[in-house]
Amino acid sequence: MTQPEAAEGTRAGRARGGRQARQAQRSGAGGAPIVIPGIRRAIPTYDLMSEEGLATIEAAVDTLLQEVGLDFRGDDRCLELWREAGADVRGERVRFPAGLVQSIIRRAPASFTHHARNPARSVIVGGDNIVFSPAYGSPFVYDIDEGRRYGSLEHFQNFVKLAYASPWMHHSGGTVCEPVDVPVNKRHLDMVYSHIRYSDKPFMGSVTAEERAEDSIAMARLVFGPDFVERNCVIMGNINVNSPLVYDATMTKSLRAYARANQCAVVVPFILGGAMGPVTTAGAIAQSMAEAMVGVALTQLERPGAPVILGNFLSSMSLRSGAPTFGTPEPALGSLVIGQLTRRLGLPLRCSGAFTASKIPDSQAMMESAVSMQAAILCGAHFILHSAGWLEGGLAMGYEKFILDADFCGALHTYLAGIPLDENALALDSFREVGPGKHFFGCAHTLRNYETAFWDSGTADNTSFEQWRDAGEKDAIKRANEKWRAMLRSYEAPPLDPGIDEALQAFMTERKQAKPDMWH
C-alpha cells in the first residue's frame, strides 16, 4: 500500500496506523489482514440535546409518520411493499402505524465494510469509524486561473485523481462534478469507469435512473465478481428525498436497485428551511428524520439486512434575499441532534460537509466550511460526503477549495485522535529535567516526540511576516492552486487488471451503442 503524500501529518498517519493494526488483529480472520484507511474516533460525540428533548422530537417524527404521511409517486411496487408491511396506503399517500418504521429499520446493519478494489482502502461505515468523501453533484468547476465553467469528464477525472492522491480522502465519491460533455444517459458509465480506473478507493454509482443504477452495479460486478458483490458492499447510491415528504419513482427505483443487489443506499433529505421544510430547526429535524427513516425502511423491505446509511442535509436561508445559506449555526446545531437521534436508531449516519455559499474559496468559504465540518465530526457522522471541494451552495466544485478542505480533513484526523494520557504524554520527567524558567527545545522528551507531536498543515503558512513577504505574499488560495497543479502533475494511476479494464470498456461500449444520446 502506497500512501501518496503520507509524509504530511505524520502524527495522524501514525495514530491511524496503530488503530489499523489493532482492528486487523481484532478481526481474527485468516489470511492477510484488512487494513482500514478510514479513521476511528477516539473522542466522544457532542450530545447537544437532553433525553427529554430527543423524546419530544421523536414524538414529532411519529406524528408526521402517522398523521401526515409521505407520498410515493409512480412506483407501484413500492406501494405494494408498504401495504404488505402494514402501512396505511391510500392512493400514493402512505401513513405509518406507530412503531412500524422503527421495527423495519432494526433489520439494517449498524455498520458494514464498504469494499475498495484495493482491499487496503476498504472502509468501515458505522461504529467509531469516519469516512471522508469529496463533494458531489456540481454542474460547474472553479479554479482561480480560469474561473467558473461547466464540468467535463476531464475535470471529473482530475478530481478523482486528486481524491486518490490526498491521504485525507478515504473515498473517491460519486458525481464529483457533472461531466456535461457526455450525454446525460451515458455519463454514469464514464463516471463509474473513471472511479475504477483512476483510483482504487471506494466509490459511488448513479441514481438518476433505475437502469443507470443497475449499470453502475453491473460494472462493480465486473471488478469484484458477482459472488463477492452479492455478499459485500462495493458501491453506494446517494438517494435524495423530494422534500417535503415525497419520494419520486426515480429515487425509489434506484434505492431498491441498490438494496436488491445488497449495495448501500444513502438516503438523504435535503431541507432548505422555509422552502422544503419549516424555518425552525426542531421542525426541520423531525421532518428530516421522518423522511430518511422511511427511505431506510424501504431498503429493508426490498432486502432485509442490506447496508444503508441514514442521511441528512439541513440548510438555512438568508432573510434578506431568500437565498440558501451554508455553514451557518442552525444546521450545525441540527446535525448534532440528528446524530443523537440516529444513534438511538442504531444506523450509520451521513451528515454535514464542507459547505459554503461563497463563490470562491475565500475567508467566508473556509469559515463556513470549518463550522460545518466540525459539526460533522461532533455529531458522530460516519460517512461525510462533500468533505472537499464544495463551493457556491454546491453549484461548483473548486480545485483550490478541494485542497484547503482536504487539508482541514487532515487536521480533523488529529482532532479525532484525542489526547493520549500515557506517561510519555504527561511528560512529568521533562519538567524534572527542564525546571522553571528554562526552555524545552532540546530536552529528551521534546527530541523523542517532536516529529510526530503536532498536526502539520500542508497549506497553512506559519512562517514569519518577512519570510512570507519575501516568498511573494501568497495567500492560502494561491498556495492551494500550486498544490493541486503539482498533485495532478505527479499523479500515477493505481494498477488495474487488464482483463477487468477490457471487460469494463466492452460493457460501456455495448451500453453506449444500445441507445441514442440524450442531452437533457
Q: Among 80, 230, 451, 517, which residue interacts with a copy of itself (rule: CB under 8 A)?
A: 451
- Smallest gap from Cβ 377 to a copy of itself, in A, equals 10
Residues in 382-411 at the binding interface with a copy of itself, rule: CB under 8 A: 392, 395-396, 404, 408, 411
Which H, E and C letters describe 192-209, residue by residue?
A: HHHHHHHCCCCCECCCCC
d(CA 506, CA 462): 51
Using rule CB under 8 A, residue 96 touches a copy of itself: no
| Number of residues forming the site for a copy of itself (CB under 8 A) | 124
Using rule CB under 8 A, residue 28 touches a copy of itself: no
Over the window 364 to 383, marking each residue x when it contacts a copy of itself by CB under 8 A and - when it does not, the resulting string is: xxxxxxxx--x---x-----
Between 111 and 374, CB nearer to a copy of itself: 374
Residues in 204-233 at the binding interface with a copy of itself, rule: CB under 8 A: none
Using rule CB under 8 A, residue 427 touches a copy of itself: yes
Using rule CB under 8 A, residue 323 touches a copy of itself: yes
- Smallest gap from Cβ 29 to a copy of itself, in A, equals 31
- Smallest gap from Cβ 123 to a copy of itself, in A, equals 21
d(CA 18, CA 397): 34
Using rule CB under 8 A, residue 317 touches a copy of itself: yes
- Run of H or E including 157: helix 153-165
Residues in 153-172 at the binding interface with a copy of itself, rule: CB under 8 A: none
Select from 33, 104, 93, 97 the least CA-distant residue to 65: 97
Residues in 285-304 at the binding interface with a copy of itself, rule: CB under 8 A: 285-287
Q: Among 6, 21, 98, 428, which residue interacts with a copy of itself (rule: CB under 8 A)?
A: 428
Residues in 46-75 at the binding interface with a copy of itself, rule: CB under 8 A: 46-49, 53, 56-57, 60, 63-64, 67-71
* Nearby residues of 391 by Cβ (< 8 Å), 6 or more positions away: 138, 142, 356, 358, 359, 360, 361, 365, 397, 398, 401
Count CB neighbours of 435 within 10 A: 8
Angle of CA points 140, 141, 147, to nearest 5°: 110
Count CB neighbours of 61 within 10 A: 21
Using rule CB under 8 A, residue 418 touches a copy of itself: yes
d(CA 60, CA 68): 11
- Smallest gap from Cβ 452 to a copy of itself, in A, equals 8
Pairing of strands 39-40, 88-90: unpaired
Between 337 and 384, CB nearer to a copy of itself: 337
Select from 127, 119, 108, 111 the least CA-distant residue to 39: 127
Q: What is the CA radius of gyration of the chain?
A: 23
Q: Among 21, 426, 493, 506, which residue interacts with a copy of itself (rule: CB under 8 A)?
A: 426
DSSP letter at 443 equals S
Q: Among 31, 44, 495, 498, which residue interacts with a copy of itself (rule: CB under 8 A)?
A: 44
Between 259 and 477, CB nearer to a copy of itself: 477
* Nearby residues of 414 by Cβ (< 8 Å), 6 or more positions away: 9, 11, 12, 15, 454, 455
Between 71 and 181, CB nearer to a copy of itself: 71
Using rule CB under 8 A, residue 342 touches a copy of itself: no
Grid-cell match 458483490, residue found: 229
Using rule CB under 8 A, residue 21 touches a copy of itself: no
d(CA 105, CA 99): 10
Using rule CB under 8 A, residue 419 touches a copy of itself: yes
Residues in 491-520 at the binding interface with a copy of itself, rule: CB under 8 A: none
Q: According to DSSP H, which parts of 36-95 are helical? A: 51-63, 76-85
- Smallest gap from Cβ 386 to a copy of itself, in A, equals 16
Between 1 and 460, CB nearer to a copy of itself: 460
Grid-cell match 423524546, residue found: 55
Select from 295, 279, 202 the least CA-distant residue to 240: 295
- Smallest gap from Cβ 109 to a copy of itself, in A, equals 29
Using rule CB under 8 A, residue 150 touches a copy of itself: no
d(CA 368, CA 459): 18
Using rule CB under 8 A, residue 476 touches a copy of itself: yes
Task: Identify which range of 179-187, 300-308, 341-349, 353-361 contacts a copy of itself by CB under 8 A.
Answer: 353-361
> In this structure, what C-alpha cell is assigned to residue 271?
431541507
